[in-house]
């Protein structure tokens, strides 16, 4: 990916993985123990930062992927938990609760 925002870290979201590339860490600096790119795996990864992206995750897509099965489990008597994690004001509450 190309860093066009001036940020020091480039974030790439894939189906089950998020990778963070720290542009301040040289990829060829000998003796530097820091990793330039770190990858994190999850059951699901959603990207809602770009409406034009083919993998854009709308509220409906997230509900269809996760919400329906969680609600089905709750209604059949199972305990369930769904966690939304992210930066402040990034839309976690809106994704979980909507506008009502």
Q: Is 76 annotated as a binding residue?
A: no
Q: Is 92 annotated as a binding residue?
A: yes
Q: Is 69 annotated as a binding residue?
A: no
Question: 43 near 22, Cβ under 8 Å?
Answer: no
Q: Is 90 annotated as a binding residue?
A: yes
Helix, strand, coil percent content, the chain, rounded in steps of 5: 25, 20, 60
Q: Is 98 annotated as a binding residue?
A: no
Q: Is 31 annotated as a binding residue?
A: no
CA distance 40 to 18: 5
**Residue showing tokens 């409406």:** 51
Q: Is 29 annotated as a binding residue?
A: no
Q: Is 100 annotated as a binding residue?
A: no
- The binding site comprises 86-93
Residues making up the annotated binding site for ATP are: 86-93
């Amino acid at each position: 990916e190309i860093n066009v925002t001036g940020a020091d870290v480039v974030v790439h979201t894939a189906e089950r993985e998020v990778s963070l590339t720290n542009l301040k860490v040289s990829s060829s600096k000998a003796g530097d123990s820091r990793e330039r790119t770190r990858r994190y795996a999850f059951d699901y990864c959603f990207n809602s930062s770009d409406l034009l992206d083919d993998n854009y995750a709308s509220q409906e897509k997230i509900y269809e992927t996760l919400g329906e099965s969680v609600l089905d489990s709750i209604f059949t008597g199972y305990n369930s938990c769904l966690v939304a994690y992210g930066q402040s004001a990034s839309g976690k509450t809106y994704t979980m609760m909507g506008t009502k």
